[in-house]
Amino acid sequence: MSSPASGPTMDLRAAAAAVAGRVESAMRADLERSLAGCDPLLVEVVQYALFSGGKRIRPLLTVLCSRCCGRDDNDLYLLAAAFEYLHVATLVHDDVIDRASQRRGNATVVARFGLTAAILAGDWLHARSMHLIGRLAGPRGLEIFCAATLSMVNGEFVQLRLIGDAATREQQYFDVIRQKTGNLIASTCALGALFAGADEVRLQALSTYGDLIGAAFQVVDDLLDFQGDPGNTGKKTGNDFAEGKMTLPLLQTLARASDADRRLIEDLLAADRTDPAAYQGVVTLIERYDGFAAAAAVARHLVDQALAALAPFIRPGSEDASVRLLRELALYVLARNK
């Protein structure tokens, strides 16, 4: 999944770096306070988990959505940090579940510190994120945040039930990715707006924008799992198929395949999915039925809808800098290669 414009624009890169710097400063100051007196191993694990790289996309969304609703102060970056805490907590727990040894080219928390330390550090980060959301965004903010995290867990359970199931419908797939990714991204945008005191129209518009780019992000992830360069993504291709995840390129292919090819896909899903020959067989079938192109078209449609959701912020003759960056971020989600 690549294009000549696969990287972020210079303005977006500069804004993301500036926001990431302020968010990391807020995290370090918060950790110094909140981890004071804690066990040294907990301190080491949390620091390692948080500062081993990452795009900081969720904090960037929180900051941009607050700014385009009129607020930008020091507390905003601590609110944004809460979403990074939650995101990293989920990554740590995902790596426990997947028994992963590497993430972003580094040893995972579970590989470096062990199972117990990884689970407990993830729990600590989740608890701290909830504390900060409640303090900075109030009861409604905490309600939005907790609804998104509860949805994320349920989405994982639904996805688990659909593993290797060729009868999975596209609507089920979208239900899963909305619960796992879309709702959480929507909450980062909604809380930025809520923090800034936005009216309901603007809050809902930004929430919708977040939901749609979250869904698009996941569809692009599906494509990168098949088509990405491991040197860029940091992951082997074919992981989703090996795990039996029913991702959009495969679902689009199943919907178009002849009866014979559909049965072949079912057989490949039921066999040893770690066999390179099985993976190559699925890739050949997806290419035959334009499953990759069809999934990419869905991602483009989701991004178009996300851009349309920003209509309440568009002023004739001018565009707020933060709104422009939200537009650029949506287009980057579509064109990214890692």
Q: What is the share, in percent, of the chain residues with pLDDT greater than 90?
A: 86
Q: 184, 152 in Cβ contact below 8 A?
A: yes
Burial class (CB within 10 angstroms; exposed 0-12, middle 13-18, buried 19+) of 209: buried
Task: Tell me the three state secondary structure of residue 214.
Answer: helix
Tokens 């650029």 found at: 328
Beta strands in 52-176 (DSSP E): 102-103, 106-107
* Domains in the chain, CATH or no CATH each: 15-331 (1.10.600.10)
Please state which of the ranges 33-42, 112-121, 292-301, 307-316 shows the lowest mean pLDDT: 307-316
Q: What is the pLDDT of residue 189?
A: 98
CA distance 209 to 184: 12
Confidence band of 331 (pLDDT split at 50, 70, 90): very high
* pLDDT tens sequence across 35-81: 999 999 999 999 999 998 778 899 999 999 999 999 999 999 999 99
Burial class (CB within 10 angstroms; exposed 0-12, middle 13-18, buried 19+) of 157: exposed
* pLDDT tens sequence across 94-135: 999 988 898 877 899 999 999 999 999 999 999 999 999 999
Q: 248, 170 in Cβ contact below 8 A?
A: yes
For residue 269, what are its two tokens?
């899903």
DSSP 264: H
Among 54, 56, 42, smallest CA distance to 12 is for: 56
Q: 46, 38 in Cβ contact below 8 A?
A: no
Q: What share of the chain is helix, strand, coil (3-state, %, to 5)?
A: 75, 0, 20
Among 85, 36, 32, 84, smallest CA distance to 61 is for: 84
Q: What is the pLDDT of residue 235?
A: 74
Q: Work out the average pLDDT over 186-202.
A: 98
Residue 259, beta-bridge partner list: none
* pLDDT tens sequence across 223-266: 999 998 877 766 778 999 999 999 999 999 999 999 999 999 99
* Helix (H) / strand (E) containing 255: helix 248-256
